[in-house]
């Protein structure tokens, strides 16, 4: 019998109302009116089974991304695709670039993979030392290397030019690069998407973080036809509900909302970073994404968390992330007024 | 690389409008107004992650069923639970009572099980010969025996007294009985639920067929705490969307709608059966569920299917079911007027 305990995060679920939840990396601007209207209309379709292979939605996504629909697979959240990939590849050995999202490790362990960790250094702001990574890959010879880009919880981004030598080595040893681009829409950085034609790469993305609909569960994966076909061999039927399938075209075409989110993101990311930097008891790490990893210079973050919750502010402690400890916490970028409340509260705390 | 092709059913997805879809075993009365209203209200919750372990919904279900919430696990449709069980148990050998729903075989094969088939006889109306089944179990010594009850597509029901000798033998050899009760709400028969305390049994159920919400994806599993705990070790996080979780209490309390569905079911099942029996080119098998398996006395059912589709009627051909062939088809019980249209159309056909 295995022992793969379910991770316990996913937002504030306590008894208090009016808690500002800085623990979830979701766009805080709420659901677009256009999307809500379409969902209300789509409720009539729940009397039917969702399209079993989501073909219509895949075609729509393919058109938008400039891909063939056979290069796309849908997921009940990006999470389904992590588990599906792990199950389909059945890797003997994987390397996870750490610290990162905890589900990769669980998914691959459940499927019998031996997990190796490549740990980035906080003194380098968690940037990957590519030479060391390549050495590790040559030594371990894994079937899969996992990178989250931008990385959760550090916000680090690895540019396409820097990853090329890595995928070249993977190509030589017959391994895959598994790339989680769940947060790429919050950056101005370039995706690895076009690499799928030349390199063994599988990319997953979330549609619910940027569009603020995590309750719907909606993600997708991108890879060459061979890998997508392989994943489809193992995919469970009807995993996406009909509302998720129905809403894809509306999300993709909601230009006004997309612009609004980008505007918020560009201004509030900078604002929050500069304010966090001013706090003398915290180290904050630069991030390309919509959240910041912070470190208490002294003390245990759970005390800070409890104090903040008394002021209706909830933060994500990071002791469950590999290579982090109870001095680390993560803060999502929220609306201006909310960010200011957080900063005010943090200012009122002393070294905890 | 495996070759576990996705099954292609789940309703009519062709180009015609106004097709009456007799291929899906869904209550045809549509979604209750109360449910629709609650879902509209729940749309505001999609900005949050669904509760990761669905605890509130599990407690509500437990209360209704007279169980402990630790004896319940939720699924993104009952289908998730088939795959989750297969993945968690990792049986070397399973016996599937056939002909039945095709996903069991796919789920266990994907997870490396060797699949044995125990085939029921159409001359016995597909009732299980319990003595032969026990002989087969003693011979094969499987970790899992799979029964769908009432069975899809035959409608056969195996009463609790008849299954007791089977679970006794399974108890002796350390095997499980996996019971799919997805259609039990359409019968007046007794569930195996209370057996979970004495025997190694895991039961799955669908909430979407009776309540006509298959687009939402919503099912649950029942077992003793030990087996539920084991399944939770392997369960993926956030598989249920927030609308599915939110709607559970409303479904359970919708007494007026439940009564309406039961009334329709009791009257239309009998009506359709008697009319199907009158057709001289078809054999129809007795069913406890909301569908009937039929067999053409002569000819290929695909010709019949095409002819019926010209009259905007879609039926489920059954050649992909184990031990059935292209003379079999399945018909769901629909509303009176729809059932009459089907019967009229079938009357107009001659031996195909």
A53 vs A74: CA distance, rounded Å: 8
Using the Cβ of A247 and the Cβ atoms of chain B, whether some distance falls under 8 Å is answered with no
Chain B residues within 8 A of A50 when measuring between CB atoms = 10, 214-215, 217
Q: Which chain A residues are Cβ-neighbours of B239 within 8 angstroms? A: 76-77, 80, 217, 239
Query: Of A4, A238, A244, which has the smallest distance from its Cβ to B79's Cβ?
Result: A238
Coil, strand or helix at B115: strand
| E strand or H helix at B292 | strand B291-296
Say yes or no: B47 contacts chain A, CB-CB below 8 A.
yes
Sheet holding B291-296, edge to edge: B282-284, B291-296, B328-332, B316-317
CA–chain centroid gap for B140, Å, is 26
Residue A225, phi then psi, degrees to nearest 5: -60, -30
Omega prior to B150 cis, within 30 of 0: yes
Mutate to test the interface with B, among A235, A236, A246, A251 (most CBs of B within 10 A): A236
CB contact B9 to A (< 8 Å): yes
Please tell me the distance from the alpha carbon of residue B238 to that of residue A10, in angstroms, as a whole number. 9
The pLDDT of residue B47 is 94
Angle A216-B54-B70 from CA coordinates, rounded to 5°: 155
Domains of chain A: 20-30+256-348 (3.90.1150.10), 49-253 (3.40.640.10)
Per-residue pLDDT at B349: 87
Q: Chain A, 97-116: which have a CB under 8 Å from a chain B CB?
A: 103, 107, 110
> Helices B103-110 and B78-89 sit at what angle, rounded to 10 degrees?
30
DSSP state of A327: T
Interface contact B255, partner A, CB < 8 A: no
Sorted by sequence, the CB contacts under 8 Å of residue A44 that are 6+ apart come out as none
Write down the pLDDT at residue A76.
97
Inter-axis angle of helices B160-173 and B130-140, nearest 10: 10
3-state secondary structure of B311: coil
pLDDT value at residue B8: 66
Measured in angstroms, the CA of B2 and the nearest CA of chain A are apart by 7
Q: For residue A43, list chain B residues with Cβ-Cβ distance below 8 A.
A: 31, 36, 39-40
Q: What tokens does A253 get? A: 């075409």
ipTM of the complex: 0.93
**Res B344: pLDDT:** 96
Tens of pLDDT, residue by residue, chain A (352 residues) = 346 776 666 788 777 889 999 999 999 999 999 999 999 999 999 999 998 889 999 999 999 999 999 999 999 999 999 999 999 999 999 999 999 999 999 999 999 999 999 999 999 999 999 999 999 999 999 999 999 999 999 999 999 999 999 999 999 999 999 999 999 999 999 999 999 999 999 999 999 999 999 999 999 999 999 999 999 999 999 999 999 999 999 999 999 999 999 999 999 999 999 999 999 999 999 999 999 999 999 999 999 999 999 999 999 999 999 999 999 999 999 999 999 999 999 999 875 5
Chain B contact present for A56, CB below 8 A: no
Q: Is A66's Cβ below 8 Å from some Cβ in B? A: no
Beta bridge partners of B146: B96, B178
**C-alpha–C-alpha distance, residues A6 and B240, integer Å:** 15
The three-class DSSP label of residue A254 is coil
Are A149 and A116 in contact, with CB atoms under 8 Å apart? no
Q: Is A60 on the interface with B (CB under 8 A)?
A: no
**pLDDT recorded at residue B351:** 56
| Burial A239-263, CB ≥16 within 10 A → b, else e | bbbbbbbbbbbbbbebeebbeebee
| CA B147 from centroid of its chain's CA atoms | 10
Contact A58, A223 (CB under 8 A): no
pLDDT at B52: 83
**Nearest Cβ partner for B43 among A36, A76, A241:** A36
Q: Can you tell me which residue has the tokens 């790490």? A: A285
Q: What are the chain B neighbours of A314 within 8 Å (beta carbons)? A: none
User: Which among B53, B213, B230 has the least Cβ separation from residue A47?
Assistant: B213
CB B180 within 8 A of CB B220: no
CA distance B140 to B137: 5
Residue segments in chain B with a per-residue pLDDT below the cut of 50: 1-2
What one-character DSSP code corresponds to residue A184?
G
For residue range B318-337, list pLDDT tens digits in order: 999 999 999 999 999 999 99
- What local confidence, expressed as pLDDT, does residue A2 receive? 46
Give the pLDDT confidence score for residue B84 in this predicted structure.
98
Contact at 8 Å (CB) between B192 and B201? yes
What are A283's strand-pairing partners? A295
Block residue for tokens 């085939």: B119
Kindly report the number of other CB atoms within 10 A of residue A119's CB atom: 13
Cβ-contact B103, B7 below 8 angstroms: yes
pLDDT given at position A3: 63
């Amino acid at each position: 019998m295995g022992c793969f305990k379910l991770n316990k995060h996913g937002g504030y679920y306590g008894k208090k109302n009016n808690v500002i939840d800085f623990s979830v990396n979701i766009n805080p601007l709420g659901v677009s009116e256009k999307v809500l209207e379409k969902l209300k209309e789509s409720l009539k379709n729940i009397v039917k089974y969702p399209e079993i292979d989501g073909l219509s939605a895949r075609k729509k996504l393919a058109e938008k991304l400039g891909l063939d629909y056979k290069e796309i697979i849908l997921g009940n959240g990006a999470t389904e695709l992590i588990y599906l990939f792990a199950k389909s590849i059945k890797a003997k050995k994987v390397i996870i670039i750490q610290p990162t999202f905890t589900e990769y490790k669980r998914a691959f362990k459940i499927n019998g993979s031996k997990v190796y960790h490549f740990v980035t250094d906080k003194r380098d702001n968690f940037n990957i030392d590519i030479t060391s990574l390549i050495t590790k890959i040559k030594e371990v010879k894994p079937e899969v290397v996992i990178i989250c880009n931008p990385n959760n919880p550090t916000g680090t981004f690895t540019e396409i030019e820097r990853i090329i030598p890595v995928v070249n080595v993977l190509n030589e040893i017959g391994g895959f690069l598994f790339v989680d681009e769940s947060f790429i829409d919050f950056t101005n950085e370039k995706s690895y998407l076009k690499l799928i034609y030349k390199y063994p790469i599988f990319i997953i993305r979330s549609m619910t973080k940027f569009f603020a609909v995590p309750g719907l569960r909606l993600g997708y994966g991108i890879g060459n036809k061979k890998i997508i076909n392989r994943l489809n061999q193992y995919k469970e039927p009807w995993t996406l509900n009909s509302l998720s399938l129905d809403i894809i075209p509306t999300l993709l075409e909601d230009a006004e909302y997309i612009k609004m989110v980008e505007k918020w993101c560009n201004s509030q990311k900078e604002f929050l970073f500069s304010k966090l930097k001013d706090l003398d008891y915290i180290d904050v790490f630069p991030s390309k994404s919509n959240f910041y990893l912070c470190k208490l210079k002294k003390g245990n973050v759970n005390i800070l968390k409890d104090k903040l919750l008394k002021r209706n502010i909830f933060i994500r402690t990071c002791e469950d992330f590999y290579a982090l400890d109870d001095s680390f916490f993560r803060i999502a970028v929220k609306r201006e007024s909310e960010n200011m409340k957080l900063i005010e509260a943090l200012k009122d705390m002393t070294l905890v």
